[in-house]
Structure 1
Amino acid sequence: MNDNGSIRWGILSAASIARGSFLPALRAAGDGKAAVVGARDLRRAETFAASEGVERAVEGYDAVLDDPSIDAVYVALPNSLHAEWTIRAMDANKVVLCEKPLCVSEAETETVLRVAHESRALLWEAFVFPFRRHFHRLREIVTGGDIGDLLSIESNFHFQLQGRANIRLMPELGGGALNDVGCYCIHLATLLFGRPPARGTALAQRAAEGVDEEIAGVLDFVDASTLIFSCGMSREQDTFCRIICSEGEVRLSNPFHPSPDDALEILCGGETSVEHPSGPEPSFTAAIQHIHAVLREQEPPRHLATVDSLPTARGLQFARDASLGRTPARELA
C-alpha cells in the first residue's frame, strides 16, 4: 500500500471485462486505485487508461509485475494465459485475482495451486457471487435445516453471443461455453455440496470454430447428490438455479450476478416466500472489499483458490472429457 493507504492494482489486459466489471467495482469499493494497465499493444493500453482513469499504461504484462508499488494484480487475459501469468504474478509477490476459470484443465489448476501453496500467495479466482448477500442467504437457508437435506441442484447460464470475432469462439484461447459460463454452475454446486464431483457426463453442440457453443451435463457428487446443468452462448439470456432439498427448495432467478430485483424464492410446506437480498453495488464490489480487508489484516481470507478452485476444475474436466468422448483421467469412488 502507498502512503495514503490505497491498495494499488495492476491490470493485465485492456479487456472488456476489466472495463465493464472490475473497474466499476474497484471505484465502488472506494479504497483502491487502478494504478497501471498492461497490454501487448501500448496504444491500446493508453486508450484504456485514458478512458477508465487508470494512472499509467505500459506495454506488455511483465512491466506491471515488475512495478514494486503494485499490491494486487487482476488477470483479465484469455483463459489459455491464466496459468502462466497467475504463476508469474505470484512469483512477483503480488496478490492475485484471476478471471474464471482459473485454468483450462484440472492438471493446470493443480500446478497453479501448488505454486500458491508453496509460496503462500493470496490467490482468488474471480467467482464473485460467493461474496454477495444473495449467496450468503442461500447458504444460510440450505444449511439451516428448515427445508431438509440438500439433494440436487439444477442450474442454467445462457446468453446470446454478439458477433463471431470473439475469444469465446477461439479454442486455442480456451474458449467455449463450459469455460465461460458453465463454470459458474459447477462452482456453485461444489460450494453448496462441499466436495468435488466423483464423475460426470455431458453432451455439447459445437460451433464451426470448434468450441462448445451449447453444453449440458450431469455431475454426480455421490449419495444421489447431483448437479444438472445447461449453458451456452447462442440463445436468449437465461440464468436460473433450483436448489432441491428433502423438504423444500430454493429458486434463484439470477444466482451469479444478482441485482435488487432478482428474487430468491423459498418453497416449503406448501408455502412460498420471496426475498430480494442483493444490493445495487457492482458484482465485483464485495469481493474486492474483502481482498482489501485481508490485505489490511482486518479479515481472514475466504474463498481462496487454494480452497475452492480444484473441485470446480475437476467438475469442468469431467464435463469437458465427456463432451469430447474422452475417458476421464480419474473417477472417485
Structure 2
Amino acid sequence: MGKTVNWGILSTAKIGREQVIPAMQKGEVSRVAAIASRDQATADKAAQALGIPRAYGSYEALLADPAIDAIYNPLPNHLHVPWSIKALEAGKHVLCEKPIALNAKEAETLLAARDRTGLVVAEAFMVRYAPWWQRVRALAREGRLGRVSAIQTAFSYYLDDPGNIRNMPGIGGGGLMDIGCYAIATARYLWGSEPVRVAGLVEMDPAMGTDRLASAVVQFPEGHLTFTCGTQLVPHQRVTVMGSKARIEVLIPFNAPPDAPCQILIDEGRALGGLEAVTESFDPADQYTRQGDAVSRAILGEAPLEFPLEDAIANMRVIDAVFRAAEKGTWEAP
C-alpha cells in the first residue's frame, strides 16, 4: 500500500453517490478506485457519472480486486455486518455506514471478524470529524460552559413512502436507527462516557411497522441527554449543549452543507431568547472528506483510529436499550 488508500464502494446507494464518494474524491489520502452494483449497467452508469476508474457488476467481484485496499459499505442496515465481514475476509479494511448493525449482538460478530483479520473497521459517523463539533467538544471540556449537565437534541424529516428502505422494519428501518443514533453518538462524543440507564417512548407507524417517533431520556454520569427523532415530522435538526455558565446551539448539527459556512451560538444567558449570543462561524468543510482521510490515515498507520469498532458497539447498545425501555415501560441499562 502506498501513500493513498484505494477505496471500493460497495453499492450505488444514494448516500454514497451524492455525499460520500464526491467528498472522498477530494481527500488527501483517499482515492475512490472502484464501485460495485448487483447490475453491471448500474455500476457503469455510476462510475461514469462520478469519474470512478472501475465498475463491477457484483459485490464479490469488487472484493476480489487486489488493487482495492478498503471498502465503504453504505448498504441497507441488515447488510452492514454480513458484507463488512465478507470484506474483511477478502483482506479489505472497512468503513461502514451507521448504525453498524441491527443490534449489539450482531455487531459483536463483526468485532470477532476484525480481531481475527487484524484489519481496520470504522463506523461512519462523519459529524465527529466536523470542525464545529470538535470546537463544541473543546469548549465543553475546557470549562467555557461550566458544568455541562444537559444535552437536548431534535432530528426529524418527513418520509411516508413504504418503498423506502428507512420505512422497512425487517431490514433495520425506522427513525431511531436512522437518525436517533446521531443524538446518542454526539452526546457520547461530548461527554466521553457511557450512559448508565435509558427511558424511552416509541410510536410505531401502524401500516409500515417502523418507529416514526421516538423520544428518550439517557442518563450519563455527567448529566442527561434528552432527544426526539421523527420520520413523519417537519424537517428539523438542532442540538443544545447546556452548562452552568453558558449553552451552545449547533445550528445544523448533522446534515451540514459541505460548501457553506457552519455556525454555533454561544449564549451566556444575559438576555432571554439568546439575543446576546455570540456566533462562531466555520469555513466550509466537508465532514465526509475529513472522515475518509481520518480512516485512511489509520489504515496507512499514520494515526490511530480515534473511534474504533468498540465505540460503534457501545452506541448500538444504547439504541437497543431505548427499544427495550419503550417496550417494557421501564428504565434499561445499555
Q: Tell me if TM exceeds 0.5.
A: yes
* Partner SS for 1:77: coil
Rounded Cα–Cα distance in structure 2 between residues aligned with 1:326 and 1:36 = 47
Partner deviation per Cα, 1:27-81 (whole Å, 9 max, x = no partner): 2215433222222223222222222222222222222112111011000110011
Q: Which amino acid aligns with 1:255?
A: P
Residue 273 in structure 1 maps to residue 278 in structure 2: yes
Instruction: State TM-score, norm by structure 1.
Output: 0.91
Pick the aligned partner of 2:65 from 67, 72, 94: 67
| Structure 2 counterpart of 1:298, from 297, 302, 312 | 302
The one-character-per-residue Cα deviations of 1:75-95 (angstroms, maximum 9, x if unpaired) are 011001101111121222211
d(CA) in 2 for partners of 1:248, 1:114: 43
Which position in structure 1 is the counterpart of 2:15?
Answer: 17
Query: What is the Cα-based RMSD across aligned positions, in Å?
Result: 2.1
Identical residues among aligned pairs (%): 31
Counterpart CA distance in 1 for 2:113 and 2:268 is 45
Secondary structure of 2:287 counterpart: coil
Contact 1:170 1:176 in 2 (8 A): yes
2 CA distance for matches of 1:196 and 1:84?
27
Q: 1:327 to 1:228 in 2, by over 3 A?
A: closer
Aligned amino acid, residue 240 of structure 2: R
Range that drifts further, 92-101 or 282-291? 282-291
| Gap runs ≥5 in structure 2 | 271-275
User: What is the distance in 1 between the residues matched to 2:304 and 2:242?
Assistant: 31
Where do 4+ consecutive residues of structure 1 move more than 6 Å?
Answer: none
One-letter amino acid of the structure 1 residue matched with residue 173 of structure 2: G
Secondary structure of residue in 2 paired with 1:284? helix
Secondary structure in structure 2 of the residue aligned to 1:43:
helix
Secondary structure of 2:277's aligned partner:
strand
Q: Secondary structure, in 3 states, of the residue corresponding to 1:73?
A: strand
Task: Give the distance between the partners of 1:187 and 1:150, measured in 2 at CA.
Answer: 16
Q: Name the aligned partner's letter for residue 156 of structure 1.
A: A
Equivalent pair of 1:28/1:281 in contact (CA under 8 Å): no
1:320 alignment counterpart: 323
Q: What's the secondary structure of 1:129's corresponding residue?
A: helix
Name the SS for the 2:161 alignment partner.
coil
* In the alignment, structure 1 residue 331 sits paired with structure 2 residue 329: no
In structure 2, C-alpha distance between the alignment counterparts of 1:41 and 1:53, rounded to whole Å: 18
Following superposition of structure 1 onto structure 2, how do residues 32-71 of structure 1 map, counting pairs within 5 Å? 32-71=30-69
Structure 2 counterparts to residues 88-167 of structure 1, below 5 A: 88-161=86-159, 163-167=161-165
Secondary structure of residue in 2 paired with 1:263: strand
Q: Distance in 1 between matches of 2:47 and 2:121?
A: 25
Structure 1 residues without counterparts, runs of 5 or longer: none
TM-score normalised per structure 2: 0.90
Q: Deviations over 1:226-280 (max 9, x none)?
A: 1101111112221100111122211111112334443211122625221013x32
Q: Secondary structure at the match of 1:48?
A: helix
Partner Cα separation in structure 1 for residue 298 and residue 333 of structure 2: 36
Partners of 2:43 and 2:326 in 1: CA distance: 37
- Contact 2:120/2:299, CA 8 A, preserved across alignment: no
**Aligned pair 1:180/2:178, yes or no?**
yes
Are 1:209 and 2:208 matched, yes or no?
A: yes
Task: Indicate yes or no: 2:32 matched with 1:28.
Answer: no
For residues 49 and 162 of structure 1, the distance between their equivalents in structure 2, rounded to whole angstroms, comes to: 30
3-state SS in 1 of match to 2:36: strand
CA contact (8 A) 1:128 1:283 kept: yes
8 Å contact kept, 1:21–1:283: no
Query: 1:170: which partner in 2?
Result: 168
